């Protein structure tokens, strides 16, 4: 073939692609997007009243991602695209990146959505004359966007300056407003009074005991009996009532959690240093946001709402090459309903992703990281409320962890043993929403398993008790203090692509239950049981719940690919511990959280179906918006591009041991290969070097020479 024919078939790129289509927006891109929208404001008043709730990447169509991975970005995988007669036609460049902005107009109380196109030259320029191009804009009626940290700070100041509030606190013996903590909570939707025509918050009040101790646990003294309603648009108190004079709980001597004497205690002295050393560096490789580890590869993303996003998850399987598992994995919503019918606890049902944003509340792990060993960090960039760019440094943590035994067997006849240690790659971030902390983790294992884990910690949301009072809806934690019962629910959205190349829609979901064989000729010993499969053919049929009594799980299968035994390849979703809402069916929060009514939902992929409670759950008056409405289409699931929505939760009956700061509670689920491989993919993991493992006497151990003799 001549050089001329090659050049005609593969044009030279006009400009090098600097950002992969799935890379999070850079700080420069966010600046350009904000400047573009602000410049498009019709009047100076409109421009000045713009508040920027969210600026996020418009994720491109899947074929654009495939094109980028095939020809524009390493490791360059042309096999991702189908073969065509005459060879592939490769465009000279990828489509320009786009940003999606949620803008709140503080003057008009309107929420709008803007799409801005960004080019390379724009992305490299911070503001100035080079701006993006507005592709579209629309006002979304009858919604309230998530609250912002700036609003929370302003709300606290407004409440503290409100004379009736100061008078109410004076009745409780508090005149120093520096001791007072005002935590604004979204009002949710309980009646027409909460309609989104007003932007509202109902704060919870707490009070510290020492103004010169910034790390004092102020949540140890809840202030009850004061009702406050704040108009967050105009930042004024619109309703106030001192309903009941509940005495402030006495200062709890066990309330603080800082080191040693600063909390009034003594730290244990017998904890020796534990160091994780990787003298040759980590086993993973990172190129931008692209990660390769062992046989796994994927891309890392981050959004203000979801936080960490995992894209393009694939496994390199020897001669079979790159095998896809999922296109996109993330936690898209969480809900925390409380079980105390008393005021103010009955209205505590936070939608921490949709009302606040998990990503926007993420930590900089510079301020304290629980990861050990060699760590790769990723920064996250956001807009603040006024349109400036803020960066959370070291927001996402990537590192390897030893995970104990991977597999082992010892032959009792020969005494010979083979054992392998397990290692996993962990990607995580941690966020704080008011009093609680949540760590979100994706673990990748050497045996092809993926584990999703949430770690719950932080401080309980408490209530105050009258002297001698006991409440059945919570646990007494200290004199005058109790912790209401509550639940934490999380929703993982998994856009699966098991053994699918881009453009292929060859997945289905099968439910598996273990059944006991009926007594009779097929079960004369009454010991028989078997796994029964049921294909989930449509959306309405695929609203499912966990059932540990039947070991229920679900398999996502490729309908066109088989393993060496002729079975369809697949990955199975294995539930961990789980629960369903314990509230009555008419509970107000279930209007907005109808997706909590089942543990599993399955839908065919639709680009605009991202959030199970709809995009704007804050003060949402519409019943069942989002997932519960989408499935009414009852679309076919027999062979399609499958999206799993797994809802998992924990019921928290507080303990005294959860105070003053809660030890981590673990909850999650696993995605495990099920017939995806022809045998264990972990059989090729090499033995560990154990000669350096020190025993308790400081001497390296030696293997038993004659295992059979030892056994006899």
* Distance between first and last Cα of the chain: 72
Nearest to 132 by CA among 58, 56, 34, 57: 34
**For the chain, give me the number of helices (H) and strands (E)?**
10, 32
For residue 467, give the 3-state DSSP assignment.
Answer: coil
Q: Please answer whether residues 45 and 107 qualify as being in contact, where contact means their C-beta atoms are separated by less than 8 angstroms.
A: yes
The Cα 539–Cα 556 span in angstroms is: 15
For the record, the structure tokens of 455 come out as 């770690």
Query: How many beta carbons lie within 10 A of that of residue 643, not counting itself?
Result: 21
The Cα 140–Cα 594 span in angstroms is: 22
The Cα 183–Cα 176 span in angstroms is: 17
Q: How far is CA 168 from the centre of its chain?
A: 40
Residue with tokens 């410049």: 39
Instruction: Return the active site residues.
Output: 352, 436
Length of the chain counted residue by residue: 712
Per DSSP, which regions of 435-583 are E strands? 436-445, 450-458, 463-464, 474-478, 481-484, 486-496, 507-516, 529-535, 553-562, 568-575
Q: Please answer whether residues 378 and 642 qualify as being in contact, where contact means their C-beta atoms are separated by less than 8 angstroms.
A: no
* Sheet containing 226-231, strands listed edge to edge, beginning at the edge strand earlier in sequence: 200-201, 226-231, 236-242
Give whole-number Cα distances, 498 to 526, 569, 570, in Å.
Answer: 38, 8, 6
Contacting residues for 357 by C-beta, under 8 A, at least 6 apart: 54, 146, 304, 305
For the record, the structure tokens of 278 come out as 């990787």
């Amino acid at each position: 073939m001549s050089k001329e024919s090659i050049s005609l078939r593969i044009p030279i790129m006009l400009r090098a692609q600097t950002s992969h289509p799935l890379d999070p927006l850079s700080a420069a891109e966010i600046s350009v997007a904000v400047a573009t929208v602000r410049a498009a404001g019709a009047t100076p008043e409109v421009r000045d009243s713009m508040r920027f709730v969210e600026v996020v990447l418009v994720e491109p169509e899947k074929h654009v991602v495939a094109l980028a991975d095939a020809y524009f970005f390493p490791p360059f995988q042309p096999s991702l695209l189908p073969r065509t007669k005459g060879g592939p036609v490769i465009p000279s460049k990828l489509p320009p990146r786009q940003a999606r902005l949620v803008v709140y107009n503080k003057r008009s109380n309107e929420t709008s959505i803007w799409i801005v196109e960004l080019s390379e030259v724009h992305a490299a320029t911070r503001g100035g004359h080079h701006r993006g191009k507005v592709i579209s804009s629309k006002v979304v009626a009858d919604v309230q966007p998530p609250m912002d940290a700036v609003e929370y700070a302003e709300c606290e100041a407004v409440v503290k300056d409100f004379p009736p509030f100061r008078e109410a606190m004076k009745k409780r013996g508090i005149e120093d407003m520096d001791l007072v903590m005002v935590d604004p909570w979204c009002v949710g939707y309980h009646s027409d009074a909460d309609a989104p025509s007003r932007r509202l918050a109902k704060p919870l009040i707490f009070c510290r005991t020492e103004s010169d101790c910034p790390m004092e646990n102020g949540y140890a003294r809840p202030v009850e009996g004061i009702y406050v309603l704040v108009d967050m648009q105009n930042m004024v108190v619109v309703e106030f009532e001192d309903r009941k004079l509940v005495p402030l709980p006495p200062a709890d001597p066990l309330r603080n959690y800082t080191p040693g004497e600063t909390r009034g205690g003594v730290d244990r002295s017998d904890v020796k240093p534990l160091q994780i050393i990787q003298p040759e560096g980590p086993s993973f490789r990172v190129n931008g946001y692209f990660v390769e580890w062992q046989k796994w590869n994927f891309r890392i993303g981050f959004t203000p709402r979801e936080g960490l996003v995992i894209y393009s998850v694939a496994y390199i399987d020897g001669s079979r090459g790159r095998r896809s598992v999922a296109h996109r994995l993330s936690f898209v919503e969480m809900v925390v309903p409380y079980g105390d019918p008393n005021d103010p606890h009955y209205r505590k049902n936070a939608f921490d992703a949709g009302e606040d944003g998990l990503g926007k509340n993420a930590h900089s792990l510079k301020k304290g990281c629980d990861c050990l060993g060699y760590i790769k960090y990723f920064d996250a960039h956001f807009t603040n409320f006024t349109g400036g760019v803020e960066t959370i440094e070291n927001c996402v943590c990537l590192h390897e962890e030893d995970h104990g035994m991977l597999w082992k067997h010892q032959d009792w006849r020969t005494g010979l043993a083979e054992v392998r240690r397990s290692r996993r790659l962990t990607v995580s971030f941690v966020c704080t929403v008011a009093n609680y902390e949540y760590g979100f983790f994706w673990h990748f294992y050497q045996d092809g398993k993926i584990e999703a884990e949430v770690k719950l910690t932080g401080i309980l949301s408490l209530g105050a008790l009258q002297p001698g009072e006991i409440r059945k809806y919570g646990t007494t934690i200290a004199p005058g203090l109790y912790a209401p019962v509550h639940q934490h629910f999380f929703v993982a959205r998994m856009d699966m692509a098991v053994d699918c190349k881009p453009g292929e829609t060859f997945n289905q979901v099968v439910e598996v239950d273990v059944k006991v064989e009926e007594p009779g000729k097929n079960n004369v010993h009454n010991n028989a049981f078997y796994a029964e499969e049921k294909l989930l053919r449509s959306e309405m049929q695929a609203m499912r719940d966990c059932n540990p009594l039947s070991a229920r799980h679900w398999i996502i299968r490729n309908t066109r690919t088989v393993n060496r035994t002729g079975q369809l390849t697949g990955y199975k979703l294995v539930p961990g511990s789980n629960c369903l809402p314990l509230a009555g069916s008419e509970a107000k929060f279930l209007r907005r959280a109808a997706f909590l009514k089942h543990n599993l939902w399955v839908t065919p992929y639709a680009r605009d179906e991202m959030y199970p409670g709809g995009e704007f759950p804050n003060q949402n008056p519409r019943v069942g918006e989002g997932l519960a409405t989408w499935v009414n289409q009852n679309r076919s699931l027999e062979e399609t591009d499958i999206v799993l929505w797994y809802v998992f939760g924990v019921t928290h009956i507080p303990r005294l041991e959860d105070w003053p700061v809660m030890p981590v509670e673990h909850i999650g689920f696993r995605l495990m290969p099920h017939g995806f491989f022809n045998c264990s993919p972990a059989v090729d993991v090499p033995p560990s070097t154990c000669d350096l493992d020190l025993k308790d006497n400081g001497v390296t151990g030696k293997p038993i020479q004659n295992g059979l003799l030892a056994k006899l």
